[in-house]
């Protein structure tokens, strides 16, 4: 179980970089991706070996960047469940599954990126980092930084969920709010890292967060018996999870664990912030900044993602699509998943079912197809969603 | 992997009951406990067999009551991590671990009891149940009931955390608030189950919730390499988790997986609601109702627990103790665990560290002892704890 990491490569121009010193982006400003000696990885990473490994994301060590397991920073990154949704599947005429990322530490899929990103930062000697966030990534990176003993500076929009502010402060990150969007937070972080020499942990401005996210793809393929569903529906803000799943499935193919058939990747966005959908509909290779972005699914309020072209590449290459759903349907589907399957997902999770409903109506998803929803976090992180207040009884009242 | 359940037995008078029909309490009003054919269980449940089983509480099937795995109601009950707390351990002079139950579905240890309790209720043909709750149990039972398609009626104090009200309503339980404490909610439920014929799912008024909780004990023993720590510190309200751990360790001894040495069990309560501590200090076998119960650790606001004598039995039998800690120290230790270990635990989790600090000062815990904290849930379920608000920046500001 030794990392087969070989080098970093620019996702746009293909330039090669040394992986064993801290790196940010390529000199052309584009994200760097980790590359592995896949032949070496395939010699020890197989289905049989995996059966005896611990049920955490670290089980895929050959395809993770960490050199020395002593540098693992862990809060208990369990494998998240892949649950059949039989009632909802019957209702929408598909074979439906949900990957519940709300059971990770900090209750969101951001823990995957933070576990691997912070561990690798520690391994490379980083002692302080800064990052912008819509909330969940800040919460996750703050927690792992505390566990690692690394100094964290986090900037989030003032409208970010209260809970994210709370968890980020509680775990000791230097936390700041900005009167603006995540793009404004990003600009502040950009100036700060230049002025202070901190490591920039912004999405895709360092190469290892996506390596953690990638494990979502490893897990789902393993949990489906080394196969992939027909369709994967992903709530898309920065889109790193979608890029990570795509990268994971291709790497599994390269080492012989998958047959190479890819699922059609679907990016779901909110009608109040749908730059990827607009770009996809126009057949563009990049998105444009979405002015006035606003949706109840705060985690996907990303007006312009650094990885937008990688997301679009995946949608085009897999025969996927992008679809926007409105806030009413997001909240309605969140309630539907909770009431009918017992899973209190986040609004972003609700958005994925709204996407399925719309794509079934359009006929884009065929009857009986195997569809996987990615629920990126727990509904508990959004306590302010509307709900019907229960009746108040006196102690002497009867039900 | 067949359940070795043989019968139910009164915890007080030893009367025997048929386990394969729905049962509540003994005719003397005391809790019934599930008993197993331990010789049969020991033939298939061993360390080697466990290495190849799924990482969920269902891995201990022989010592769980469910007859048919088709009746499993699951939301993905992962094995929760047992994490070393090296920094805090060094500070308090002990070898410290934390079992993080916040990673279970519904973000609390109540999921264990609900998973097994609801599954077994479904297996025995229950179609509707009612229960009182301080919040987390209601959230868990509502979620599993939704997943099972069973009707749930939940009554909780009006002061119960907002998040518990939210999750219980969202997952479709018929939810009621009462202008009083959990004891008032329990009285309403008592009248309702008599009038309506619903199953009574109150703590220890049915025999299987504790069987789910018990898996916490199985897991920690397995994760410690089939050994036990010197001390287990448990935040005690109803105390079912403590009773469950005690029962689990004795069953593991009976089937040969443990050597029979028991950890000293510690019940931590809040100074605002400490009936077990008062009873323990008096050497009593039962607790008295605690008037005016109030603490920031809402989950342990239980003025009089039905299982109080079982909790006290365990403390006496293991050479354990009971200790009360005040709200200030609970919140301070919650922050300390978050800041220094990256774990955002619930206030009840904070109480366990407050208990350790006090017991180290008294010399009751010796230097270097191996101490396990049980964190019963995620801090995310208590978004109203006080914290320092971050500074607000304009987009043009610098860090």
Tell me the pLDDT tens digit for each residue of B228-280. 999 999 999 999 999 999 999 999 999 999 999 999 999 999 999 999 999 99
Q: Which of A80, A143, A335 sits opposite B76 (nearest CB)?
A: A80
Domain boundaries, chain B: 79-382
Q: Look at residue B49 in the predicted model and tell me its pLDDT.
A: 94
**B330/chain A closest Cα distance in angstroms:** 14
Chain A CB within 8 Å of residue B397 CB: yes
User: Least CA distance to A106: which residue of chain B?
Assistant: B344
Chain A CB within 8 Å of residue B394 CB: yes
Q: What CATH code is assigned to B79-382?
A: 3.40.50.1100
Calculate what percentage of chain B has a pLDDT beyond 70: 100
Mark which residues 109-168 of B lie under 8 Å from A by CB: 130, 142-148, 153, 155, 158, 162-163, 165-168
Q: Which CATH number fits domain A82-108+209-381: 3.40.630.30, 3.40.50.1100, 3.90.1170.50, 3.30.1490.20?
A: 3.40.50.1100
The pLDDT tens digits of the residues spanning B318-327 come to: 999 999 999 9
Q: How many CA atoms lie within 13 A of A399 on its CB side?
A: 29
Q: Which of A342, A388, A398 sits opposite B144 (nearest CB)?
A: A342
- For chains A and B, CB pairs below 8 A equal 233
Counting runs of H as helices and runs of E as strands, what totals does chain B give? 14, 14
Place B337 in a pLDDT band, splitting at 50, 70 and 90: very high
The pLDDT tens digits of the residues spanning B94-126 come to: 999 999 999 999 999 999 999 999 999 999 999
Count other Cβ atoms within 10 Å, centred on residue B291: 8
Residues in A closer than 8 angstroms to B107, CB to CB, are 107, 378, 380
Does residue A38 carry a pLDDT above 90? yes
Chain B CB within 8 Å of residue A390 CB: yes
Does residue B367 carry a pLDDT above 90? yes
How do beta strands B95-100 and B82-84 pair? antiparallel
Structural contact between residues B24 and B205, judged by C-beta atoms closer than 8 angstroms: yes
Across the interface, whether the CB atoms of B158 and A75 are under 8 A apart is answered no
Does residue A225 carry a pLDDT above 90? yes
Structural contact between residues B317 and B297, judged by C-beta atoms closer than 8 angstroms: no
User: What sign does the dihedral B229-B235-B240-B241 (CA atoms) show?
Assistant: negative
Does residue A166 carry a pLDDT above 90? yes
Question: A57, A154, A170: which to substitute to probe chain B, counting the most B Cβ within 10 Å?
Answer: A170
Q: Look at residue B132 in the predicted model and tell me its pLDDT.
A: 96
Chain B CB within 8 Å of residue A84 CB: no
C-alpha radius of gyration, chain A, whole number: 20
> Which residue(s) pair with B7 in the sheet?
B35
Calculate what percentage of chain A has a pLDDT beyond 70: 100
Q: Look at residue B10 in the predicted model and tell me its pLDDT.
A: 97
Place B52 in a pLDDT band, splitting at 50, 70 and 90: confident
* Mean pLDDT to the nearest integer, A258-276: 97
Calculate what percentage of chain A has a pLDDT beyond 90: 96
Q: Which of B104, B169, B390 sits opposite A390 (nearest CB)?
A: B169
Residues in B closer than 8 angstroms to A180, CB to CB, are 395
Q: Which of B155, B170, B179 sits opposite A335 (nearest CB)?
A: B170
Question: B82, B103, B144: which to substitute to probe chain A, counting the most A Cβ within 10 Å?
Answer: B103
Does residue A380 carry a pLDDT above 90? yes
Q: Look at residue B365 in the predicted model and tell me its pLDDT.
A: 98
Place A1 in a pLDDT band, splitting at 50, 70 and 90: confident
* Mean pLDDT to the nearest integer, B359-366: 98
Across the interface, whether the CB atoms of A338 and B162 are under 8 A apart is answered no
The pLDDT tens digits of the residues spanning A288-342 come to: 999 999 999 988 999 999 899 999 999 999 999 999 999 999 999 999 999 999 9
């Amino acid at each position: 179980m030794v990392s087969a990491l070989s080098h970093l490569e620019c996702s746009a121009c293909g330039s090669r970089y040394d992986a064993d010193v801290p790196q940010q982006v390529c000199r052309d400003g584009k994200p760097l991706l980790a590359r592995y000696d896949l032949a070496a990885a395939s010699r020890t990473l197989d289905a049989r070996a995996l059966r005896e490994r611990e049920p955490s994301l670290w089980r895929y060590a050959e395809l993770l960047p960490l050199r020395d397991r002593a540098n693992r920073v862990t809060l208990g990154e369990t494998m998240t469940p892949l649950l059949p949704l039989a009632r909802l599947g019957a209702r929408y005429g598909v074979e439906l599954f949900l990957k519940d990322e709300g059971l990770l530490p900090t209750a969101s899929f951001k823990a995957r990126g933070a576990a691997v990103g912070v561990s690798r930062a520690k391994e490379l000697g980083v002692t302080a980092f800064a990052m912008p966030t819509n909330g969940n990534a800040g919460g996750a990176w703050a927690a792992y930084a505390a566990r690692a003993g690394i100094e964290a500076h986090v900037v989030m929009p003032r409208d970010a969920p209260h809970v994210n502010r709370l968890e980020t402060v509680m775990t000791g990150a230097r936390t700041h709010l900005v009167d603006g969007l995540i793009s404004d937070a990003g600009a502040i972080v950009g100036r700060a890292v230049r002025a202070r020499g901190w490591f920039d942990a912004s999405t895709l401005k360092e190469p290892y967060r996506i390596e953690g996210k990638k494990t979502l793809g490893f897990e789902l393929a393993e949990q489906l018996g080394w196969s992939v569903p027909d369709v994967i529906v992903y709530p898309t803000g920065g889109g790193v999870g979608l890029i990570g799943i795509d990268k994971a499935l291709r790497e599994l193919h390269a080492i012989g664990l998958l047959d190479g058939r890819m699922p059609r990747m679907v990016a779901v966005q909110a009608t109040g912030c749908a730059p990827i959908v607009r770009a996809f509909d126009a057949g563009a290779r990049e998105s444009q900044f979405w002015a006035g972005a606003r949706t109840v699914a705060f985690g996907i309020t990303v007006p312009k993602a650094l990885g937008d072209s990688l997301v679009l590449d995946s949608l085009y290459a897999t025969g996927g699509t992008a679809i926007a759903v409105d806030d009413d349907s997001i909240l309605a589907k969140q309630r539907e998943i909770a009431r009918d399957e017992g899973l209190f997902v986040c609004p972003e999770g609700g958005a994925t079912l709204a996407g399925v409903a719309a794509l079934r109506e359009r006929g884009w998803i065929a009857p009986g197809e195997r569809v996987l929803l990615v629920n990126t976090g727990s509904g508990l992180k959004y306590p302010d969603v509307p709900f019907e207040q229960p009746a108040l009884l006196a102690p002497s009242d009867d039900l």
